């Protein structure tokens, strides 16, 4: 018996990730936002990619959506 997963496995998708700065004492810095584009299979993988990258250490994920 063979399994045919053609069309079942998701391909990499371009995601638009909105990052907002983590809370700090300076209100101007806390208001900063950043928009990044990431290629991944699903939203969980996007969160992992962002969390593992040191340049996003001061930011948290606000929203994730598919880039059009």
Domain boundaries of the chain, sorted by first residue? 13-66
43: part of which helix (H) or strand (E)?
helix 43-52
Whether the Cβ atoms of residue 20 and residue 60 lie closer than 8 Å to each other: yes
Kindly write down the DSSP assignment for every residue of 45-62, as one continuous string: HHHHHHHH-GGGTTEEEE
- Classified as helix, coil or strand, 65 is strand
In this predicted structure, what is the pLDDT of residue 9?
64
Distance, CA of 51 to CA of 68 (rounded, Å): 23
Summarize pLDDT for 5-51 with one digit per residue, the tens.
666 667 789 999 999 988 888 877 778 889 999 999 999 999 999 99
Q: How confident is the model at residue 4 (pLDDT cuts 50, 70, 90)?
A: low
Distance, CA of 16 to CA of 61 (rounded, Å): 11
In this predicted structure, what is the pLDDT of residue 1?
65
In this predicted structure, what is the pLDDT of residue 5?
66
């Amino acid at each position: 018996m063979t399994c045919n997963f053609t069309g079942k496995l998701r391909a990499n998708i371009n995601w638009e990730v909105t990052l907002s700065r983590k809370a700090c004492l300076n209100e101007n810095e806390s208001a900063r936002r950043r928009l990044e584009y990431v290629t991944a299979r699903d939203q969980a993988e996007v969160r992992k990619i962002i969390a593992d990258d040191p340049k996003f250490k001061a930011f948290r994920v606000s929203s994730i959506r598919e880039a059009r």
